[in-house]
Amino acid sequence: MNLISHKAFKNIAYLFSCAIFFILTSCEEDLTKLNGNDNKNFPSQVIHNAVIIQRDSGFITLRATAPIIEKYELIDSQYTVARKGMRIEFFDKKKPKNPGNITANFAKIYDYKKFYEARGNVKILTSEGQRFATQSVFWDQNKKRIYTRDTVYATMEDGSTMVHANGMTAKDDFSEYKFFNNSGDLDVSKTQIAQPRP
């Protein structure tokens, strides 16, 4: 009788330990499934007082500075975020000492696509001295296009100011740009008007 109860006790202990093992394993698997995506979406690098420089054949084409940059590199679509603002200077080979710049309160860079997103108090100064202010700007560096659908306030070299209620699209060097739904104050005395030939 002692032998039977001893075997029964061993079997119960064995079954109990197997049950605990399977419960713990299944809980662990569920946690992995639940948190699998979250575990990868954290910055792999955090850079304070960051400076990013892009070069083309030794020539600096872009210099970006930010108080803090977070790089997300452990996911398929890698990106970089500047939550405390960013300043991007873009250089033209024709005027290397007179770069244009973009400043914003927030910036996001999609590294692989070379696509930039700037939001919050966005200000653009071109190398020609034109100034643009808006709330968001998107820059597709591969297509060399900048665009926004927000209202754009544009101040030209001559001091005239225009309001473009439905945004703009432009080449990234601002050699060409197009505004939508325009209104504003144009100082005609500073504008060159075509004169008829004598």
- Tens digits of per-residue pLDDT, 4-50? 554 555 555 555 555 554 444 444 444 444 555 556 678 888 999 99
pLDDT of residue 165: 85
Whether 99 contacts 87, CB under 8 Å: no
Distance in angstroms (rounded) separating the CA atoms of residues 140 and 22: 52
Query: How is residue 99 written in tokens?
Result: 């770069």
182 pLDDT exceeds 60?
A: yes
Burial of residue 117 (number of CB atoms within 10 Å: 0-12, 13-18, 19+):
middle
Q: What are phi and psi of 171, to 5 degrees?
A: -65, 150
Average pLDDT, the chain: 77
Give alpha helix (H) positions in the chain: 2-40
> At residue 63, does pLDDT exceed 80?
yes
How confident is the model at residue 97, as a pLDDT? 82
Indicate whether 98 pLDDT > 80: yes
pLDDT at 188 over 50: no
Least confident of 3-7, 114-118, 152-156: 3-7
Closest CA to 118 of 143, 142, 136: 136
Residue 84: the pLDDT is 95
- Range of weakest confidence among 64-68, 72-76, 184-188: 184-188
What pTM, to 2 d.p., does this model score? Answer: 0.67
Region of 109 (left: φ > 0; alpha: ψ -120 to 50; beta: rest) is beta
What percentage of the chain exceeds 70 in pLDDT?
Answer: 71
Instruction: Report the alpha-carbon distance of residue 178 to residue 171 in Å, rounded.
Output: 9
d(CA 122, CA 83): 14
Residue 61: pLDDT band (50, 70, 90) is confident
**pLDDT at residue 28, as a whole number:** 42
What distance in Å separates the CA atoms of residue 70 and residue 49, rounded to the nearest whole number?
11
- Residue with more model confidence, 67 or 75: 67
Locate 160 and state its tokens: 């005239």
